[in-house]
């Protein structure tokens, strides 16, 4: 199945789920869909930000993460994994005046405002890097954060995409 066909099928069942975002693609095209958004969107080449709202919602953490990623990618060669994980571990909190009003109250807006969320009752549990080269070789690296058992666990998987995908 093509990515669009998959998303069309999902779209028909989207009302069965709470709000979600999904990005799917093949070696030539990438698409975003949210059951709270405008429909299936083809993504052009570029850098996008996705948090717990729609694609590229200009929340401070989304804008910060995009800028940090652009800075990382501006250097020659691919930065080491740890540079990307440092970005995903950023706990910078914006000023209260910059916070969105998502309806959860100021205290929760503060808790949810960094890229990496850390609180006793809610937080980031995994950070994932996915690299795909032009030959379809995939490297998937995931860091799992267990607040009761530091340091994080890192797992890596490598595989090649089927040429028909």
Same domain, 97 and 79: yes
What is the reported pLDDT for 158?
98
What is the reported pLDDT for 131?
96
- Which domain covers residue 113, as residue numbers? 57-119
Euclidean distance between CA atoms 84 and 128, whole angstroms: 9
Rounded average pLDDT per 10-residue block, the chain, 165 residues: 95 96 95 96 97 96 98 93 98 98 97 95 95 96 88 96 71
Query: What pTM does this model have?
Result: 0.90
Residue 27 inside a domain? The answer is yes
Residue 155 inside a domain? The answer is yes
User: Considering all CA atoms of the chain, what is the largest pairwise distance in Å, rounded to the nearest integer?
Assistant: 49
What sign does the dihedral 59-143-76-48 (CA atoms) show? negative
Same domain, 115 and 68: yes
Residue 104 inside a domain? The answer is yes
Smallest CA-to-CA distance from 94 within 42, 48, 119, 58 is with: 58
Residue 51 inside a domain? The answer is no
What is the reported pLDDT for 165?
46
Domains: count for the chain: 3
Euclidean distance between CA atoms 96 and 116, whole angstroms: 17
Check: CB of residue 126 under 8 Å from CB of residue 142. Answer: yes
Same domain, 107 and 132: no
Residue 50 inside a domain? The answer is no
φ/ψ of residue 139, rounded to 5: -125, 120
What is the reported pLDDT for 155?
98
């Amino acid at each position: 199945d093509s990515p669009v066909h998959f998303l069309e099928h999902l779209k028909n069942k989207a009302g069965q789920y709470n709000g979600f975002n999904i990005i799917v693609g093949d070696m030539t095209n990438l698409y975003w869909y949210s059951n709270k958004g405008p429909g299936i969107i083809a993504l052009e080449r570029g850098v996008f930000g996705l948090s717990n709202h729609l694609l590229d919602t200009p929340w401070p953490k989304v804008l910060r993460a995009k800028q940090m990623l652009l800075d990382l990618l501006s250097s020659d060669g691919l930065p080491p994994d740890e540079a990307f994980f440092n970005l995903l571990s950023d706990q910078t909190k914006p000023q209260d005046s910059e916070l969105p009003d998502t309806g959860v109250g100021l205290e929760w807006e503060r808790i949810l405002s960094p890229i990496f969320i850390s609180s006793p009752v809610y937080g980031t549990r995994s950070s994932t890097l996915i690299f795909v080269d032009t030959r379809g070789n995939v490297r998937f690296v995931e860091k799992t954060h267990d607040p009761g058992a530091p340091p994080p666990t890192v797992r890596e998987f490598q595989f090649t995409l089927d040429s028909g995908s």
